[in-house]
Amino acid sequence: MDDESYESIFKPVIEKVMETFCPSAVVLQCGADSLTGDRLGCFNVTTRGHGECVRFVKGFGLPMLVVGGGGYRIRNVSRAWAYETSILVNQEVSNNIPYNDYFEFYTPDFKLHLVPDKDLKNDNTKEYLEQHKYVGKERKLWNGLY
């Protein structure tokens, strides 16, 4: 699962949720175990892909409470949350991690943005993702709830 695949699922699902429930505020949980290099997950999503999802939800113009979540490579979790925070406060940030007490945790490149793992293949075809985007809607129809 790469940035493009993740966004192709995330955006239409969230759009439908917003349309269906018409919330007056959003609580967005930004778990980071979908990031490339996570020890638990097997996704290949970058900080930029994660950030695009935050930007998309922010675009609805609703009050937001944004909280953290999972993620098992702390150095990547902190990268994602720093970038997502910059999006939320409309502040561009450098890709270079500034020197700090934890600087050595950001080896080898000391960069904010993650690079996808070139060896991690994305087996999710566009057809497969399209087919699974609508499972939730079909379940509601089957249960007579839609």
DSSP letter string, 48-77 = HHHHHHHHHHHTT---EEEEE---S-HHHH
* 3 state SS of 35: strand
Q: Which domain holds residue 116?
A: 3-142
Q: Give which of 75, 78, 74, 57 is closest to 66, Cα–Cα.
A: 57
Mean pLDDT computed over every residue of the chain: 90
* 3 state SS of 141: helix
Q: Which residues, in sequence order, are CB contacts of 82 under 8 Å at separation 6+?
A: 93, 112
CATH number at residue 114: 3.40.800.20
Q: What is the pLDDT of residue 1?
A: 94
pLDDT at 145 over 50: no
Summarize pLDDT for 31-78 with one digit per residue, the tens: 999 999 998 878 999 999 999 999 999 999 999 999 998 898 999 999
Q: How many structural domains compose the chain?
A: 1
For range 110-127, the mean pLDDT: 94
pLDDT at 121 over 60: yes
C-alpha distances in Å from residue 75, one per residue of 14, 51, 112: 28, 16, 10
Torsions phi, psi for 35 (to 5 deg): -70, 150
Q: What is the pLDDT of residue 45?
A: 97
pTM across the whole model? 0.88
For range 80-104, the mean pLDDT: 96
